[in-house]
Amino acid sequence: MIKSDRVTTTTCPYCGVGCTLQLHVKDDFIYKVTSPFDSPVNHGNLCVKGRFGYDFVYHPKRITTPLVRRYLLEGKPKPEGREQVFAVSVDGKPIPDSKISNDWDWLETDWDTALNFVADNLTRIYKREGSDAMAVYCCAKATNEDNYLLQKMYRALFRTNNVDHCTRLCHAGSVVALQQAVGSSAMSNTASQVVMNDVFIVTGSNTSENHPIIALQMKEAVQKHGAKMIVIDPRRIDLVDMAEMWLPLKPGTNVPVFTAMAYVIVEENLVNHDFINDRTEGYTEFLSSLETFTPEYAEEISGVPAEDIRKAARLYANAKNAAIYWGMGISQLSHGTASALALINLAFLTGHIGRDGTGLNPLRGQNNVQGASDMGAMPFHYPGYMRVDNPENRAKWEKTWNIEEGGLSLKLGLTTTEILSHAHEGGIRALYIMGENPMMSEPNLNETRKHMQHLEFLVAQDIFINESGAFADVFLPATPFAEKDGTFSNTDRRVQRVRAAQPPRGQARPDWQILCDLALRLESRLGLATAHWTYSNPEEILREMASVNSDYAGITYDRIDKVGLIYPVPTMDHPGTPTLFKESFPRGRGKFHQLEYIPVMEEPNDEYPFILTTGRLLEHWHGGTMTRNSALNEIYPEARVEIHPADAEIHGIRNGDPVKVQSRRGEIIVRATVTEKTTVGVVFLPWHFAEAAANLLTNDVLDPQAKIPEFKACAVQVFPARESDLPNPEAVVTRGRY
Ligand code: SF4
């Protein structure tokens, strides 16, 4: 039995549940992960990722030395052919017919050299082109402190709000809807409060795979507390087995189904009149918009029997305590905002919000997507969701950052997808990516690739050279969660500690240290001496942010040492706020919204007869930067497309057969899994696998309000393929020549 040198308590780097991890370290090597039974989030439970998915920290492909392209280091002009950079295999060898210039080679260097190249090139482009040419992707995997600093760097030094991160790609529709209807954008309750409900709806969320510990709590609510669960989802997800009802709607038909439930609640007078009178506005107008949304109309569009819609509406409305939990099946649509608003209307109609247990709960995806949003890693908001186009907000941050009056920009920034689509002459010229991977996470990757090639200068700050880092000019090696201190804010709004279990490997540095070092170099080149960039530890960074953002005002590292605190924590003696909206909504009254049904942008036809929907697997995480470089990849090593047995038979496809999945934008070859988990006419693909990237197929059409792409529905065809057509995962192109 191994005896640990130390056990470090920290927070899981994968999903938004935010489970507590104990990293057992021997000789600076994490050999085991456990969790304490008294953890308030996960009570000692961990999923396979938290328990076994940490060995990426030691993967030989991890980069621990700053890298600069040969052309930069040797002072040569930038070579043509950035598109060729990607045509290199994982072992660093050019693929046979690649014409890659060796000027694109990665060369190891020291931090001074690498940071000076970054500072020189960003300054050069900024002085030539101005603020609108600069953009940054913050990171939902990095700490609050890292994200706060990076958005501060771009706002304070480059005077731009072109700051965003992957919240745009997961829950932007939910965030916008909640802001419009209640004036806040986080979960109203903690996930563990699910057991306080007698009815709850789970929709657009494969919770067992995406938020496994929350799924356990949902199962406990059903099995131990007798709650009734209603699953509304196109797939026969694991939770269906213990649900009271399953409404298998066609992808993208959320608005008619939820609004038909509202129709039934009104028609049968199950509304909570007191709540509507006391706490909401817009009810009369909302009523007039319900007329067309009969359950029969919704059945015609969604395929869900009208009687089931009626039954679900009655169950939800008649409950003493009811809550709604939703995932990206609601938000990742060209009408994602409307989908979330339709759910919010249900809570207002019934008054199922503002008490322990009841409420509206978008389950946030990444470990710190809530925190990165709180820190202002978005184009429309400073930290604390303060609009950037409001001069009063601007003045507060100018004072905090010691910036001249009127120095910060009032102009709304570009979103992630817009940043790349503006990568051309006269648009975005320099991009800084901290920890994100747009070459896996953006829709329509063939277009994304062209945009990446059009960038003049790209910095990647990460732990691996992933599919996006392969386009970079300079690579800055950062530390993963196990080698840094800071905080993550989970989907419950619980701010928790992240603690280093071991020193950084090689020359890798924590993100916050890299950013401070770079910011000082930028300041001297830009002739500025304004914002404060010298911190002795990450807590000082958090306290600077909390001096303006009252939600975090009472949070110190001491206070969150054991179990974290759930914000809002407005004062140093405030105990935290597990349940929001008990007395009022941040915008005053909750606002009903009138909605109309807008179909998804691509309906199936003879040429493309299937709807493709995409999502995550239990064993993998997002673009796979961490999980595909861990032992988890051995458990689930290749992408598979799920197809219903009836469809498989028609197309002559057997379980395990190679198939080509083709959309109007691209094609991939994968094996088929023939399963009743998916419904007739719908195929499902996970998006973690670079060699069969689901986002080569997805549609880049955006929700006009939230600017979130329609990842959840596009039209595809599925053809039998040959075994020899299957991609070789070992040939995945990830590193550039190095
Ligand atoms: Fe980590 Fe999420 Fe699994 Fe918990 S449920 S161990 S936070 S991945």
> pLDDT tens, 49-85?
999 999 999 998 899 999 999 999 999 988 876 655 5
How far is the C-alpha of 481 from the C-alpha of 498, rounded, in Å? Answer: 7
What pLDDT shows up at residue 731? 53
Same domain membership, residue 314 and residue 230: yes
- Residue 96 is assigned to a structural domain of this protein: no
Cis, bond preceding 686 (omega within 30 deg of 0): no
The residue whose CA is least distant from atom 2 of ligand 1 is 15
Mean pLDDT of 487-500: 97
Question: Are 548 and 622 part of one and the same domain?
Answer: no
| Angle between helix 254-267 and 306-318 (nearest 10) | 60
Rounded CA gap, 148 and 374, in Å? 9
302, amino acid identity: S
Residue 737: the pLDDT is 37
Residue nearest to atom 3 of ligand 1 (CA): 47
Residue, of 167 and 281, whose pLDDT is higher = 281
- What is the average per-residue pLDDT within 237-252? 96
Question: Do 253 and 335 fall within a single domain?
Answer: yes
Strand partners, 340: none
pLDDT digits (tens, 9 = 90+) for 294-304: 999 999 999 99
In this prediction, residue 90 carries a pLDDT of: 41
Mutate to test the pocket of ligand 1, among 11, 12, 20 (most ligand atoms within 8 A of CB): 12
Given the CA of residue 15, which atom of ligand 1 is nearest to it?
2
**3-class SS of residue 730:** helix
pLDDT mean across residues, the chain: 93
Q: How far apart are CA 715 and CA 612, in angstroms?
A: 6
pLDDT at 727: 84
CATH number of the domain where residue 701 is located: 2.40.40.20
CA of 669 to the centre of ligand 1 (A): 30
Residues 233 and 309 in one domain: yes
Same domain, 213 and 261: yes
d(CA 432, CA 410): 21
Quickly state the pLDDT bin for 529 (edges 50, 70, 90): confident
Strand boundaries in 391-541, DSSP class E: 430-434, 457-462, 474-477, 486-489, 494-498
Expressed in angstroms and rounded, the spacing between residue 633 Cα and the centre of ligand 1 is 17
Number of domains within the chain: 4
CA distances from 454 to 426, 429, 543 (A): 11, 8, 39
Q: Which of 301, 333, 363 is the endpoint of a domain?
A: 363
Task: Residue 649: give the domain boundaries.
Answer: 610-725
How many C-alpha atoms does 410 have within 13 Å on its Cβ side? 8
Tokens of 725: 């057509």
Q: Secondary structure of 313-361 in the HEC alphabet?
A: HHHHHHCCCEEEEECHHHHCCCCHHHHHHHHHHHHHHHCCCCCCCCEEE
Number of Cβ within 10 Å of residue 274's Cβ equals 9
Residue 91 has pLDDT above 50, yes or no: no
H or E, element range at 214: helix 212-223
Residue 678 Cα to ligand 1 middle (Å): 25
- Is pLDDT above 50 for 247? yes
Residue 203 phi/psi, 5-degree rounding, is -140, 140
Q: What would the mean pLDDT of 474-483 be, rounded to a whole number?
A: 97
Q: Work out which ligand 1 atom sits closest to the CA atom of 35.
A: 6
Residue 387 lies in a domain: yes
Task: Check whether 734 has a pLDDT greater than 90.
Answer: no
The pLDDT value recorded for residue 466 is 87
Check which CATH number belongs to the domain holding 340 and give it: 3.40.228.10
Q: What is the pLDDT of residue 83?
A: 56
Does residue 589 form part of some domain? no
pLDDT of residue 251: 93
Residue 124 covered by a domain:
yes
Looking at ligand 1, which atom is closest to the CA of residue 212? 5
Tokens of 496: 């928790």
State the distance from the centre of ligand 1 to the C-alpha of 20, rounded, in angstroms. Answer: 9
Q: pLDDT band for 94, please (50, 70, 90 cuts).
A: very low
Domain stop point among 363, 384, 410: 363
Q: Ligand 1: which of 211, 370, 490, 492 to mutate, judged by most atoms within 8 Å of the beta carbon? A: 211
How far apart, in Å, are the Cα atoms of 367 and each of 99, 270, 490, 531, 622? 40, 38, 6, 28, 11
pLDDT beyond 50 at 92: no
Q: What is the pLDDT of residue 691?
A: 87
Q: Look at residue 729 in the predicted model and tell me its pLDDT.
A: 66
Pairing mode, strands 163-164 and 134-137: parallel
Domain boundary residue, one of 310, 334, 363: 363
User: Regarding predicted confidence, which is higher, 88 or 79?
Assistant: 79
Q: Is the pLDDT of residue 730 over 90?
A: no
- Ligand 1 atom at minimum distance from 213 CA: 5
pLDDT in tens, 320-343: 999 999 999 999 999 999 999 999
Same domain? For 633 and 557 the reply is no
Q: Are residues 151 and 177 in the same domain?
A: no
What are the φ and ψ backbone dihedral angles of 163, each rounded to 5 degrees?
A: -130, 120
Mutation pick for ligand 1 pocket among 9, 10, 11, 14 (CB with most ligand atoms within 8 Å): 14
Residue 591 lies in a domain: no
CA dihedral 273, 274, 280, 283 (to 10 degrees): 20
The CA 301 to ligand 1 mean position distance, Å, reads 36
Question: In CATH, what number is assigned to the domain containing residue 384?
Answer: 3.40.50.740
Structure tokens at 373: 């949003």
**337 and 378 inside one domain:** no
Pick the atom of ligand 1 nearest to 21's CA. Answer: 6
Distances (CA, A) of 604 to 96, 250, 625, 663: 39, 11, 33, 11
CA of 630 to the centre of ligand 1 (A): 15
* Percent of the chain clearing pLDDT 70 (strictly above): 96
Residue 88: the pLDDT is 45
Contact yes or no for 201/230 (Cβ under 8 A): yes
For range 622-630, the mean pLDDT: 89
Residue 600 lies in a domain: no
Within 6 A (CB) of ligand 1 lie: 12, 14-15, 17-19, 42, 46-47, 49-50, 212-213
Same domain assignment for residues 464 and 549? yes
Is the same domain home to 386 and 507? yes
String of DSSP letters for 149-202: HHHHHHHHHS----EE-THHHHTHHHHHHHHHHTS--S-SS-GGGGGG-SEEEE
Q: State whether the Cα torsion 241-247-253-257 is positive or negative.
A: negative
Note whether 504 and 632 are same-domain residues. no
Specify the pTM: 0.95
Average pLDDT rounded to a whole number, residues 571-587: 96
- Who has greater pLDDT, 623 or 337? 337
Q: 83 phi and psi, to 5 degrees?
A: -60, -25
Q: Work out the average pLDDT over 536-547.
A: 97
pLDDT confidence of residue 184: 87
Work out the average pLDDT over 630-648: 94
The per-residue pLDDT for 470 is: 85
Q: For ligand 1, atom 6, name the residue with the nearest CA.
A: 50
- Rounded CA gap, 153 and 695, in Å? 31
Q: Is the dihedral of CA 544, 547, 553, 559 positive or negative?
A: positive
**Tokens standing for residue 633:** 């990849």
pLDDT in tens, 130-180: 999 999 999 999 999 999 999 999 999 999 999 999 888 888 899 999 999
pLDDT digits (tens, 9 = 90+) for 105-125: 889 999 999 999 999 999 999
Above 50 in pLDDT, residue 95? Answer: no
Q: Which residue among 47, 52, 491 has the greatest number of ligand 1 atoms within 8 angstroms of its CB, and so is best to mutate?
A: 47
Q: Are residues 409 and 279 in the same domain?
A: no
Does residue 408 fall inside a structural domain? yes
Q: From residue 260, how far is each of 301, 324, 403 by CA, in Å? A: 11, 16, 52
> Cα–Cα distance between 414 and 619 in angstroms, integer?
33
Question: Are the beta carbons of 571 and 577 closer than 8 angstroms?
Answer: no
Question: What band does 532 get if pLDDT is binned at 50, 70 and 90?
Answer: confident
Any domain includes 87? no
